[in-house]
Amino acid sequence: MHRPAHPIIALALFVAIPLGAQGAADDAYAALKRFDGTWNATFSTGRTLAVENHCWPTAHYFVCEQTVGGGAAALVIFQAAGGGDGALKYRTRTLTSAEGPIGPWGSLTITGDRWVYEPGATSGRAKRTRTVDIFSGPDFIHFEDQTSTGGQSWTTTRSGDERRAP
């Protein structure tokens, strides 16, 4: 993601379960399986958190349950939204462990090893946010939280790396 309560939630909610014979609907979610498992996230500030993702396909969606630092963090629901120009697109909805209403549908656009998560309901807002993940192989992700006032030029406000735990 689409910004959940914690930046790690957006990053690590899209990981890898081995592909099975789930049929054509599951194929739309193959890329999301890259995030399944346990990751160690280190922010540019030096802070480190353990992130554990449990992801699985359902009949029409893909779901990831996430634990951050040993505590329940979020449940993220993905719905395939097509693609084009070499990109995969998904609608995302996040339920966090904090009380409160469920957020609006956000989006995830995957182009190669670059994943861009944007929260929903950004129209009318002067400031937009997004998270960009760049994969380097199956076990490393560089992430950046970014803001923009017009959607053209983005400023990184926080960054870090995630490494798959052994």
> Has residue 2 been placed in a domain?
no
> Has residue 52 been placed in a domain?
yes
Q: Which of residues 108 and 86 earns the better pLDDT score?
A: 108
> Has residue 59 been placed in a domain?
yes
CB-based burial label for 17 (10 Å; 0-12, 13-18, 19+): buried
> Has residue 65 been placed in a domain?
yes
Distance of CA 160 to the CA centre of its chain: 14
Residue 22 corresponds to which tokens in the numbers above? Answer: 């789930």
pLDDT tens readout for residues 24-52: 455 889 999 998 999 999 999 999 999 99
> Has residue 14 been placed in a domain?
yes
pLDDT tens readout for residues 94-127: 998 787 778 789 999 999 999 999 988 666 667 8
Q: Are the beta carbons of 53 and 36 closer than 8 angstroms?
A: yes
> Has residue 71 been placed in a domain?
yes
What pTM was computed for the model? 0.80
> Has residue 37 been placed in a domain?
yes
**What is the span of the domain harbouring residue 55?**
7-164
Give the separation between CA 19 and CA 16, rounded to whole angstroms: 8
Write the CATH number for 53: 2.40.128
> Has residue 1 been placed in a domain?
no
| pLDDT of 21 higher than 70 | no
